[in-house]
Structure 1
Amino acid sequence: MIDFASALYLGLRHSAAQLGDYAALTTGYPASLVAAPLARRLAADAAALQGCEAGMVAPSTLHLAIDVFEHLGRTHALIADEALYPVMRWGLERIRGLGVPVAWFRHGDLADLARRIRLRRRGRPPAVIADATRLAGVPVPLARYVALVRRHGGLIVIDHSQMLGLMGASPSPRQPWGSGGGGALRHAGGDPAQRVLLLASWAKAFGAPLATLCGPAALVQAIARDGPTQTHSSAASEAALRAGLHALEINRVAGAALRARLWQRMRRLQAGLRWLARGCLPDLHAPPRDHPLQHVRLATAERTMALHAGLRDAGFRTALLRQFDGRHALAVIVRANHRRADIDALLAAMTRLAPQLPDAARQARRLSSTPMEEPQHV
């Protein structure tokens, strides 16, 4: 089966042979008691890559979200984007359960965010929480977010899991992703001293099962010292830490070439989708996204789901998801280790399936007379 559902964007795998031998998978110590030397090294290297003063490592972004919101909930007014990724929402739901209020602003709407900041709890600086990319796949205007909260003594918390390893410094028309793969702050040209906390999963572009938090040194050190998961959960495993360091070495040596190959594969898929939309699938809608995660949608949910099922039967793994606006989309994820032939085979399969899909007009009439409640996640 040809896989277009995995988010290992750069194709990094980190086999046991590449990581080497180690004495134990875990130390049994919580991170707040004993930080492994590899964890300290990875945290420092991650901070340098992302353009920040300091970093810390955890097994997942959920661990970090719990620690960050526990800390900020005592000192700041929490204001979050309503389209925030679920894992970050889970961290906010926990802190709300402890009695800390959380306000929400309309997705990507700076005017609504400014209004929420004005209405925040009196005397508390704002902590604005958002993803690094908007639903359309483009980066948020991080500099404008920073300027807005700076006037009120606040800070920004950004989940840039979808940018780390892909986007970096000095983007240009010839190199839209920029260089280095350092993520959101590098891409925005931000200063290391700015009040920005960057959370990121490394299980996407870097292919390592861990997460990092990077930002101002004093703030990161306070979260590392006081975070509840730092005391009550195991630290990232030896294998995960070695995978993270291995990813950084590959990024240093071959990251630019991998990103260039990935960009070419993504453009090949986009060109093919445009050709399908002009021909056998005129209802195909694939918003232009300069990101490996491409969203494909047909006129009705039934047609989109039928395309997903047909591709699966034809030997292609894609992902079906429910979008923020309630519609269904097919997630087609391009990776640097896809061959041109893989892209072409997927497009050919979609062409063959087009005549077999449910009739769009008939499905639209049936849906208009039979409303249904769709699940939150597919």
Structure 2
Amino acid sequence: MIDFASALYLGMSHPAAQLGSYAALTTGTPAALAVSPLAGTLAAQAAALQGCEAGLVGPSTLHLSLDLFDRLGRTHALVADDTLYPVMRWGLERVRGLGAPVTLFRHADLADLARQLRQGTGTRPPAVVTDGTRREGAPVALRRYLALVRERGGLVVADHTQLLGLAGTQPGPGRPWGSGGGGLLRYAGLAPAEPVLLLASWAKAFGAPLATLCGPAALVGDIARDGPTQAHCSAASQAALLAGLNALARNRRDGDALRAALLERVRRLRRGLRWLAQHRLPDLQVSVPLHPMQQLRLGSAGRTRALHAGLRAAGFRTALLRQAEGRCAVAVVVRASHAPQEIDGLLAALALLAGQPAAPRGRAPPAYRESLHVQDCGR
């Protein structure tokens, strides 16, 4: 089966033979007691890549979001996008249960955010929490978020998992993602000293099972010292750290070439989808931004489910996302490692399935819950 459901966008894998040896899989101590030298090296290189002063490595975004909001919940008023990715929401829900002030603003609605900030956050400065991408997949306007919080002594927290490894410096017409793959701060052209905290899973473009939190050195240092998971959970494994370092080395060596290949594959898919929408599937709706995850939606949930089931029967693995109000979408995830003929084969299968009124007989495969976020295939 040809896989269009994996979010390893750059096609990076980290076979054991590439990683080298390690004495033990884990140190047996939490990070608060002893930081692995590999973790320190990876944190510093991750911060440099993302254009930040300092970095912190954790086993997952869940671990780091618990640490992050435990710290900010004691000093800031948290104002979060109402379609925030679930893992970030879990960290917010924990500190709200402990009494921290948490309010929500409408998804990517800067006017609503400005109104809430004008109404005041008490004596605390605001910490605006958002995903690095809007619902349709385009990067958020980080400079505009910063303009709203800067005059109030606040900061911005962004989960830029869907941009790390893709977006980078100096985007333009010829290079819509920019170069370097450093993520949201680099894409916005902002300096390391800006009050921005960047959370990211490395299990997407970089293919490594760990996460980083990067931002101002003093704040990252506080979180590293006092975060609850730093004291009570295992640190990232040595294998995961070696995979992260291998991803950084590959990104330096051939990251821009991989991104160029990925961009060509995405454009190839989108050209074919536009043709299908014009000639075979007039009710086909497709994601707008140039992102590796493209969402396909037909005129009804039934037709969309039939499309997903038909692709599966034809040998193409995609993800069916459950969305709000009974809607659903077929997520087609393109990787740099996809051959052009695999893209063409998927498009040919879509053309053959055009007009099918119902799903094939048999039990339909389960849908992934999207939870109101365009890039939701798990962290």
TM-score interval for Structure 1 and Structure 2 normalised by the shorter chain: over 0.9
Does the residue aligned with 2:354 lie in a helix, a strand or coil? helix
Instruction: Report how far residue 376 of structure 1 moved.
Output: 6.9
- Cα offset for 1:325? 6.3
Alignment of 1:43-192 (within 5 A): 43-192=43-192
Match of 2:2 in 1: 2
- Quick one: distance in 1 between partners of 2:358 and 2:105? 38
Tell me the CA shift for residue 288 of structure 1.
Answer: 1.7
**Aligned residue in 2 for 1:247:** 247
Counterpart CA distance in 2 for 1:295 and 1:354 is 16
Q: Does structure 2 conserve the Cα–Cα contact (< 8 Å) formed by 1:156 and 1:196?
A: yes
Give the RMSD, CA atoms, in angstroms: 1.5
Q: CA, structure 1 residues 324+35, in 2 after alignment: closer, same or farther (shift >3 Å)?
A: farther
SS of corresponding position for 1:294: strand
Distance 2:231 2:59 in 1: 13
SS state of the match for residue 123, structure 2?
Answer: coil
Deviation, structure 1 residue 281: 1.0
Amino acid at match of 1:333: V
SS at match of 2:355: helix
More displaced 10-residue stretch of structure 1: 329-338 or 348-357: 348-357
Aligned to 1:362: none
8 Å contact kept, 2:42–2:241: yes
Q: Which residue of 2 aligns with 1:41?
A: 41
> Which deviations, in whole Å up to 9, do the C-alpha atoms of 1:201-246 show, x marking residues without a partner?
0000000000000000000000000000000000000000000000
| 1:352 and 2:352 matched | yes
CA distance in 2, matches of 1:52, 1:274: 39
Aligned-partner SS, 1:256: helix
Separation in structure 2 between the aligned mates of residue 126 and residue 355 of structure 1, nearest angstrom: 51
What is the alpha-carbon distance in structure 2 between the residues aligned to residue 297 and residue 51 of structure 1? Answer: 37
Contact 1:308 1:330 in 2 (8 A): yes
- How far apart, CA to CA, are the structure 2 residues paired with 1:74 and 1:305? 45
Instruction: Write out per-residue CA displacement over residues 305-336 of structure 1, whole angstroms, 9 at most, x where no aligned residue.
Output: 11111111111100011235652111000000
State the shift of 1:119 in Å: 2.7
Change (3 A) 1:325 1:293: farther
Given that residues 293 and 331 in structure 1 are in contact (C-alpha distance below 8 angstroms), is that contact kept between their aligned partners in structure 2?
Answer: yes
Task: Tell me if structure 2 keeps the 8 A contact 1:83–1:324.
Answer: no
Alignment partners' CA distance in 1, 2:250 and 2:189: 23
Q: Which amino acid aligns with 1:323?
A: Q
- Work out the number of aligned pairs and report it: 364
User: Is 1:209 matched with 2:197?
Assistant: no
Deviation of the 1:118 alpha carbon:
2.2
Report the alpha carbon displacement of residue 355 of structure 1 after superposing the two structures with TM: 3.3
Give the conservation status (yes or no) of the 8 Å contact 2:69–2:91: yes
Q: Is contact 2:6–2:333 with CA below 8 Å preserved after alignment?
A: yes
Q: Is the 8 A contact 1:160 1:198 kept in 2?
A: yes
Moved more, 55-64 or 96-105: 96-105
Whole-angstrom distance in 1 between the partners of 2:211 and 2:53: 17
| Alignment partners' CA distance in 1, 2:326 and 2:173 | 33
Cα distance, 1:83 vs structure 2: 1.1
Query: What SS does the aligned partner of 2:31 have?
Result: coil
CA contact (8 A) 1:58 1:236 kept: yes
User: What do the CA deviations read for 1:39-84 (whole angstroms, capped 9, x no partner)?
Assistant: 0000000000000000000000011110010000000000000111
Aligned counterparts of 2:347 and 2:182: Cα–Cα separation in 1: 32
CA distance in 2 between partners of 1:95 and 1:13 (Å): 36
| SS of equivalent to 1:23 | coil
Change over 3 Å in CA distance of 1:326–1:171 after alignment to 2 = farther
- AA partner of residue 34 (structure 1): A
Answer yes or no: is the 8 Å Cα contact 1:43–1:56 preserved in 2.
yes
TM-score, normalised to structure 2's length? 0.94
**CA offset at residue 147 of structure 1?**
1.2
Aligned partners of 1:92 and 1:52: how far apart in 2? 23
Matched with 2:220 is 220
Give a deviation string over 1:277-298, Cα, whole Å, max 9, x none. 1112111000322110101000
- Alignment match, 2:278: 278
Q: Is the 8 A contact 1:200 1:211 kept in 2?
A: yes
After superposition, residues 323-362 of structure 1 pair within 5 angstroms as 323=323, 327-358=327-358
**Paired amino acid for 1:116:** Q
Displacement of 1:262 in angstroms is 0.2
CA distance in 2, matches of 1:159, 1:375: 19
Contact 1:307 1:357 in 2 (8 A): no
Specify the code of the residue in structure 1 equivalent to 2:296.
Answer: V
TM-score (norm 1): 0.94
